[in-house]
Amino acid sequence: MAILFFIVFIDLVGFGVIIPLLPFYGIQFGASASEITWMMACYSLAQFFCSPLLGRLSDRLGRRPVLLVSLCASIASYLWLGFADALWMLFAARLMAGAGAGNIAAAQAYISDITTPETRAKGMGMIGAAFGLGFTIGPALGGLVAGSHPGTAALARPAFLAAGLSSVALLIALLRLKESLPPEARAASSRPSRWQVAQDVMGRSVLRRLILLLFITITAFAGMETTFALWAHSALGWGPRAVGYNFLYVGLVLVVVQGGLIGRLSKRFGEAQLILTGSCMIGLGLLGLPFALALWRLLIVNTLLALGMGLLSPSITSLISQQAGIDERGGILGVSQSASSLSRILGPAIAGPLFEDFGRGAPYFTGAAVMVLVVALALGLPRPARAAIPGASIPS
């Protein structure tokens, strides 16, 4: 688990280097707010199509080869972004990056292979901590390398830095990462297609509720993520460096929750209760964001948002993995990631026009309203949420 954590961490540092700077890429090329949010959403469009495919491939071929190929795609996308001199190239580079990001399902399946149902939430929390730590260091590093002024930022440098970091992750994976899925558990060629897997998932009531809950939450959260830099630039006059430091704080909170607390909290309260608590926190954070015009208010809002996602995300993933047998985890987690990707398309597609046409606070008020439905769905989750299908609780 330590090797996978380190690989995901380094790759996510590279990813985090780019994320807070993407809106400034768009500004540099004269893109509108809607174009900027669509540029960020096209990443998720590619991830939507690739996550189930890569998840099923990891069931059939193993987790390791899928992770290696996807890291190569990430490196190529960062290089393309660094050399981009037109808006269409930004879109193309983000599509390639999204295709590589389909490896999240394979990484989650890897964790499922090496954990028991009782330790699954902790394992997923470790992956979440790698994400959080990557976002802690990445955005601050990207802002530092790019510079503080929006108009003169050296945006190519963070892209090349991200390519180098992902290359390090690829090298470590090649040398140290072992396959987690035994040969006898790998799916045969006659296994259901990804579309059949999706139909099967929608036919299971608990899985359907969990994935719908995840879909709605990420839709609301992605609308905030993709417009935050624009909001901070408009409301607070922030540039890339300040936005990067904001993500630094959010990442620190995520690391503390997912890396140190989620395992103990899930054992004490159960994943269902953590999902309910997290959804309430996210709703309150979105509601408060338009009013966070002072730094202390923004710290409170960011704390609520980070705590909420830190509790909710690994808890949902843990419950989803507990509903899957060992030979179908990659496929089912791929469907889950595909739903997340679809929500990351829908969220920015809604948030961009709301920001442009109804004011900078509109995406966050809308997101807070949507989270009321998430709370209602979370209230309906079974407690204790440990009812897995036959074969799902077989330790790997």
pLDDT the model gives residue 288: 94
Rounded distance between C-alpha atoms, residue 358 and residue 290, angstroms? 13
Residue holding tokens 């179908």? 328
CB 196 within 8 Å of CB 59: no
**H or E stretch at 319:** helix 295-322
CA neighbor of 242 nearest in space, from 252, 260, 224, 229: 229
Q: Is the dihedral of CA 244, 315, 187, 174 positive or negative?
A: positive
> How many Cβ atoms are within 10 Å of 177's Cβ, its own excluded?
18
Q: Where are the beta strands (DSSP E) in 130-265?
A: none
Q: Tell me: the pLDDT tens digits for 192-201?
A: 555 666 666 6
Q: Tell me: the pLDDT tens digits for 132-188?
A: 677 667 777 777 777 656 555 566 788 888 888 888 888 888 888 888 777 766 554
Q: Residue 395, preceding bond cis, omega within 30 degrees?
A: no
Domain residue limits, the chain: 2-178+194-379
CA 2 to chain centre: 20
pLDDT the model gives residue 394: 33
CB 54 within 8 Å of CB 103: yes
Burial (CB < 10 A; 0-12, 13-18, 19+), residue 156, is middle
Question: Residue ranges of the chain with pLDDT lower than 50?
Answer: 188-190, 385-396
Question: What is 2-178+194-379's CATH topology?
Answer: Growth Hormone; Chain: A; (1.20.1250)
pTM (2 d.p.): 0.64
pLDDT the model gives residue 291: 93
Q: Is the dihedral of CA 95, 33, 283, 372 positive or negative?
A: negative
pLDDT the model gives residue 150: 54
